Amino acid sequence: MKLFVQLTAGIISSVYNIWQVRNAVFKFKNNRFLKNCFQTAYDKKLKSYGSWISVDASFEEIPFFPHDLYGIFISGGSVVGKNCVIFQHVTIVSNTIQGSKTFGAPVIGDSCYIGAGAKIIGSVKIGNNCRIGANCIVYEDMPDNSVAVAAPTRIILKDKLDNRFFTKRNGKWVYYEKGKWEEDNHS
């Protein structure tokens, strides 16, 4: 049965767009087989983009994704208004720590513009016609017609930095340098 669901999901995935598949998950909520097929197809499509958009997220209408769905994460309970623009690698997620001041999911108003890499976390309310700059982290409410920008870059001078990439392989620390892995003799 699982193989049949996978095969059916593959066909569904190639025929329908992501939003049609998402809507079908709801449409067939009382038909376990079809719901599983469409849910599997939905998950498969999102995975191909390195994304996750919960079927429990709510959209007033389909947002515009100028760079497609690459790296988009939207958790269940999130609400996205009409006429929104969402760039790549945006994260719109719930704060699931009970007792936290921002416990819950974000609610985003109409006509919002969310720049690449932006993160909206917790039960914040983003007003209508807001703009969130690239790589901003929003964890407080934004009133209508407001803009969030990231802090200016700080330059910190150091005498010397070691920017080699270290990882553990076969129980030994190694680093990548000049196109190959070298063993770290100091560990």
For the chain, what percent of residues have pLDDT higher than 90?
A: 56
3-7, 12-16, 17-21, 173-177, range with the lowest pLDDT: 3-7
pLDDT for 186 equals: 67
pTM over 0.85: no
- What domains does the chain contain, in order, with CATH numbers? 2-48 (no CATH), 49-181 (2.160.10.10)
pLDDT for 53 equals: 96
**Which residue, 108, 144, 145, is CA-closest to 124?**
108
pLDDT of residue 11 exceeding 60, the answer is yes
pLDDT of residue 187 exceeding 60, the answer is no
Torsion angle (degrees, nearest 10) of CA 74, 79, 83, 89: -20
Mean pLDDT of the chain: 89
pLDDT digits (tens, 9 = 90+) for 105-142: 999 999 999 999 999 999 999 999 999 999 999 999 99
Q: How buried is residue 98: exposed, middle or buried, by Cβ count under 10 Å (0-12/13-18/19+)?
A: exposed
Give the side-chain half-sphere CA count within 13 A for 48.
Answer: 11
Mean pLDDT confidence for 37-41: 89
pLDDT for 12 equals: 77
For the chain, what percent of residues have pLDDT higher than 70?
A: 94
